Structure 1
Amino acid sequence: MIVIKVGTNVLSDDLGMIDQTMIASLVLQVVNLKRRGVDVILISSGAVGAGRQVLNSTSKSLGRVERRQLLAAVGQPKLLQTYMTLFEKSGIHVAQILATKEDFRDRKHYLHMRNCFLALLNENVIPIVNENDTIAVDELMFTDNDELASLVASMMGASALYILTNVEGVYLGDPADPDAKVLSKIDPGSTIQHVFSQVSSFGRGGMATKYRMSKQLASTGIDVYIANGKRPGIIDSIYAGEHVGTHFVAQQNISSVKKWIAYQDRATTGAVVINEGAKSVLLNGNKVASLLPVGVSSIVAPFEKGDLINILGENEALVGIGKAQYASETLEKYLGQKQQKALIHYDYLVILYERNDDSKRS
């Protein structure tokens, strides 16, 4: 299974309007994958741009969020109709799925949504996914559709995520600089200085988000490719193994439960600080380890049994997330003690690579 995310700048022309020729080209490439027996989920931006084509002007009294909601409400059905018409020419049906961040936080809801995707794929239907901009306010919004694509790829256990943007890949330096180089491969455990973080012209995202999300997803066992969606035949090229764009190389695969936990850092209810010894053990990728009370220095925020909690280093940087086997009240009695039950068992512990890394530098 491959998840393909198409950015606003790929689908839009210079005026921010939807480029019909570009969509048609991308659809034909997705059809090629389907004919090879590949299941595809399409994460498509562009609803706001499609709405902009319908409503040339909007009331100046509208706020930023309200204007976005209006344009998305008008543009989403127009965008979906475009996809439906193009895919139907090849005998392929599509389905619309609109999501908010809340859909991924509750485990039960998360599994129901996964089952819906599986049902569609089993019937040879291509799910076309976008953020539900009409109801998403700031606190419920994804950072951008790169985050949504990462969550969907993780949820579905995809083999790869293709992120199509309007640049050739991840640049070491400013893409406008003729001497800037595209990084062909990135290990998710590496830290790279001076990755350029320009924000998208028409969308909300930028390379900093793509870089961060791609490292995170690759660390859970899914290959990620960032490439220029305007390059002819780009999807075919990536699938054929050609050296295009930037490839974030997948690490060892993890369980579906861990993949869900990995993206719950904003849904955690508690936090602990661990000492350097515990941090060293947890970050040792060659050893299976649970978090024991002897490695916990302090409790930052209280929690109950079964809660997801953040694991922080002594500098309060995020080290990982896990499911507590008992409450913070019990942990207080065990702090610093050996031979006590693990606070977080390995099966429910996810070690995260740095999210506040050098990718945010311009």
Structure 2
Amino acid sequence: MAKKKRIVVKIGSSLLANEEKLTLRFAFINGLLADLAALQAQGYDIILTSSGSVALGLNMIGKRPEDAGILDKQAAAACGQPLLMNAYRQVASEYDMGVAQMLVTVEDMEERCRFLNIKNTMLRLFENNILPIINENDSIATTDLKVGDNDRLSAKVAQMIEADQLIILTSVEGLYDRDPSKPGAQFIEEIEDVSEHLESTKSVSELGSGGMMTKMLAANMAQNAGVETIIAEGLIEAPVSSVLRRERRHTRCLARDKTGSPLMIWLSNRLQVSGTLVVSNAAVAAISSKERGLARNDLVSIQGEFSKGDVLHVYDEEGNEFARGLTNFSSEETILMARNPDMQVEDVIGYKTKSDIIGSENILILEDHHLQLDAPIDDAQPVISV
């Protein structure tokens, strides 16, 4: 039996909600689900990543997008999510489709066990030909604890289920080399290296949490997981199948060959920084070549509160991120070990274990195609010098 093709479709608030009235565009939902039902019948497994709950709930709490604060948006999400899912359920029933809701937080996507549990749920829904509709749990998300945008969430989901394609539907045809309203703007049909196009992508829509920049970041995450990304206009007939058949203009971000294990791919695509380590320049070469893990004697400074099993970002002394890895210790234990390098690990932290802060088997060395993250500047979590 041939393996089913898997696609993740992401739609934003600007497609789902009328910008002035903040009401649902039922015609769009009807056209979208008709298209997805046809693709399911052709043998596709599909996940829909859907924004819209905040935009739809703002009317109920008497707010506009431009003057809504974080608490307003949380309340609006709680009001809007039932409206959104009810609309999906009603329309899907016309096409004999089953739908399921999954709300996630950044912690769900960044903690390895939760990540795998979400994946297993999605695979079981596929077995029953049910369309999972996934969104960030905006009613509890804050500016500090959130996936950040559903573009990147959709890329994490695509990585999770080993999708063939990520299709991001938006209000424009795709990517231009500059603001498309400027003279001489050129449409870009195909991208191999996303990093070359980041500077031209900094506009933000009124209803959405990000513009083309977040779509490029999502495309980079998908590329590193071996997933092709398509960015295309959504307000059009058969919005998904028409780009799959290449019947209209769109931007295609090519996938890279999968070279890493699922764990390494997961490490490469981070949504949030749990903590950072700065190591001496003298240790960088040995760690980068996987000759050994990251030892306590390598540490120059530590920032952030983290737990055993969190993903840490590793920098050299010039501030260049060169690795990410799963820590064997909490931040408190790491500080104690780094400040007592001559003591046995068991004597410092009270139990016997491996001495490496991050083992070589759990380190990803970043390559040119990985977008590096700047070290966070957080006065609430000062840098601890070793």
Give the TM-score range, shorter chain. Answer: 0.7 to 0.9
Is this contact kept in 2: 1:221–1:250, CA < 8 A? yes
Decide whether aligned partners of structure 1 residues 189 and 131 sit closer, same or farther in structure 2, where only a CA change above 3 A counts. closer
> C-alpha distance in 2, partners of 1:249/1:136?
32
- Report what 2:302 is aligned to: 301
Matching of residue 349 in structure 1 with residue 354 in structure 2: no
Decide whether aligned partners of structure 1 residues 280 and 183 sit closer, same or farther in structure 2, where only a CA change above 3 A counts. farther
- Report what 1:322 is aligned to: 325
Matching of residue 162 in structure 1 with residue 179 in structure 2: no
> C-alpha distance in 2, partners of 1:344/1:25?
50
Post-superposition offset of 1:218: 0.7
> C-alpha distance in 1, partners of 2:214/2:49?
16
Post-superposition offset of 1:75: 1.5
> C-alpha distance in 1, partners of 2:50/2:58?
16
- Report what 1:26 is aligned to: 32
> C-alpha distance in 2, partners of 1:307/1:332?
22
Aligned residue runs from structure 1 range 1-362, under 5 A: 1-15=6-20, 16-52=22-58, 55=60, 57-58=62-63, 64-188=69-193, 190-192=195-197, 194-242=199-247, 244-253=249-258, 254-264=260-270, 266-273=272-279, 275=281, 289-290=289-290, 292=292, 298-301=299-302, 308-324=311-327, 329=337, 344-345=359-360, 348-349=363-364, 351=366, 353-355=370-372
Is this contact kept in 2: 1:45–1:130, CA < 8 A? yes
Is this contact kept in 1: 2:287–2:294, CA < 8 A? no
> Residue 138 of structure 1: SS of its match in structure 2?
coil
> Residue 9 of structure 2: SS of its match in structure 1?
strand
Is this contact kept in 2: 1:276–1:314, CA < 8 A? no
Is this contact kept in 2: 1:5–1:162, CA < 8 A? yes
Decide whether aligned partners of structure 1 residues 191 and 202 sit closer, same or farther in structure 2, where only a CA change above 3 A counts. same
Post-superposition offset of 1:96: 0.7
Decide whether aligned partners of structure 1 residues 154 and 169 sit closer, same or farther in structure 2, where only a CA change above 3 A counts. same
Q: Deviations along 1:178-198, whole A, 9 cap, x unmatched?
A: 421222122236523641311
> C-alpha distance in 2, partners of 1:307/1:11?
36
Is this contact kept in 1: 2:156–2:221, CA < 8 A? no
> C-alpha distance in 2, partners of 1:351/1:274?
17
What is the identity, as a one-letter code, of the residue corresponding to 1:299? V
> C-alpha distance in 2, partners of 1:342/1:151?
26
Q: Deviations along 1:33-92, whole A, 9 cap, x unmatched?
A: 111100000001111232245x27259xx9612211222222111111111111111111
Post-superposition offset of 1:294: 9.8
> C-alpha distance in 1, partners of 2:137/2:101?
11
> C-alpha distance in 1, partners of 2:294/2:57?
56
Q: Deviations along 1:265-324, whole A, 9 cap, x unmatched?
A: 634444134649957995xxxxxx426469997533289985533122443132331235
Q: Which range is displaced more, 108-117 or 322-331?
A: 322-331
Is this contact kept in 2: 1:199–1:206, CA < 8 A? yes
> Residue 140 of structure 1: SS of its match in structure 2?
coil
Q: Deviations along 1:97-116, whole A, 9 cap, x unmatched?
A: 11111111222222222111
Decide whether aligned partners of structure 1 residues 325 and 132 sit closer, same or farther in structure 2, where only a CA change above 3 A counts. closer
**Percent identity of paired positions between Structure 1 and Structure 2:** 29
Q: RMSD of aligned C-alpha atoms?
A: 3.4
Is this contact kept in 2: 1:184–1:243, CA < 8 A? no
> C-alpha distance in 2, partners of 1:84/1:279?
54
Is this contact kept in 1: 2:148–2:271, CA < 8 A? no
Decide whether aligned partners of structure 1 residues 188 and 332 sit closer, same or farther in structure 2, where only a CA change above 3 A counts. farther
> C-alpha distance in 1, partners of 2:308/2:141?
31
Q: How many pairs does the alignment contain?
A: 343
What is the identity, as a one-letter code, of the residue corresponding to 2:302? A
Post-superposition offset of 1:242: 4.7
> Residue 148 of structure 1: SS of its match in structure 2?
helix
- Report what 1:286 is aligned to: none
The gaps in structure 1 that reach 5 residues or longer are 283-288, 335-340, 358-362
> C-alpha distance in 2, partners of 1:251/1:276?
32
Is this contact kept in 1: 2:14–2:207, CA < 8 A? yes
What is the identity, as a one-letter code, of the residue corresponding to 1:247? R
Decide whether aligned partners of structure 1 residues 243 and 89 sit closer, same or farther in structure 2, where only a CA change above 3 A counts. closer
Is this contact kept in 1: 2:313–2:325, CA < 8 A? yes
The gaps in structure 2 that reach 5 residues or longer are 1-5, 343-355, 375-386
Decide whether aligned partners of structure 1 residues 47 and 313 sit closer, same or farther in structure 2, where only a CA change above 3 A counts. same
Is this contact kept in 2: 1:218–1:248, CA < 8 A? yes
Decide whether aligned partners of structure 1 residues 278 and 250 sit closer, same or farther in structure 2, where only a CA change above 3 A counts. farther
Q: TM-score, normalised by structure 2?
A: 0.77
> C-alpha distance in 1, partners of 2:180/2:278?
40
Decide whether aligned partners of structure 1 residues 133 and 307 sit closer, same or farther in structure 2, where only a CA change above 3 A counts. closer
What is the identity, as a one-letter code, of the residue corresponding to 2:267? I
